[in-house]
Amino acid sequence: MAEKIVGDTRSAIIEAIGPLTATTSDVILTVSGSVIDQRPWESICYTIIAATADALWQVFASNDDDFSDEVAITSVATIPVGTAAAYTDDVAPYSYYRVKTKTADTTPSIITLYGVAKGG
């Protein structure tokens, strides 16, 4: 990825996903496209915004690309409507990460998710 900074262009080596948009449901589901292969990187960050209603979210990690050894690395957290929440790990110990969401009450929410992995 190249970015333009005050008249100069430089390369920034990162993996970025998003914006990804999804609608929550009454069961916890993986946000399509949220998987980040963390192996070549050092740090990871996800930012999520709940646009239309409160939503629940959680970050999961695995050392297998099929997530067969998946572990929850965050607790389930509420994202109040109109606000953002984030997960950051400066030294991410797992190989693969993904985000799952769920409706907080009875009203589905449209969420927007961004992710970045960098360093290493």
Residue 2 is predicted with a pLDDT of 46
Of the candidates 43, 1, 21, 4, the residue with the CA atom closest to the CA atom of residue 113: 21
Question: Beta strand pairing status for 55-62 and 71-72?
Answer: antiparallel
Cis peptide leading into residue 40 (ω within 30°): no
Q: What ranges do the domains of the chain cover?
A: 15-118
Residue 35 is predicted with a pLDDT of 97
Q: How many CB atoms lie under 10 A from the CB of residue 31?
A: 23
Q: How many CB atoms lie under 10 A from the CB of residue 89?
A: 19
Average pLDDT score over the chain: 92
DSSP 43-70: EEEEEEEE-SS-EEEEEEEESSTT-TT-
Residue 104 is predicted with a pLDDT of 95
* Residues in the chain with pLDDT values less than 50: 1-4
Residue 66 is predicted with a pLDDT of 97
The overall pTM is greater than 0.85: yes
Dihedral of alpha carbons 20, 102, 49, 2, sign = negative
- What's 15-118's CATH class? mainly beta
Of the candidates 28, 89, 39, 45, the residue with the CA atom closest to the CA atom of residue 63: 39
Q: Output the CA angle 74-109-78, nearest 5 degrees.
A: 30
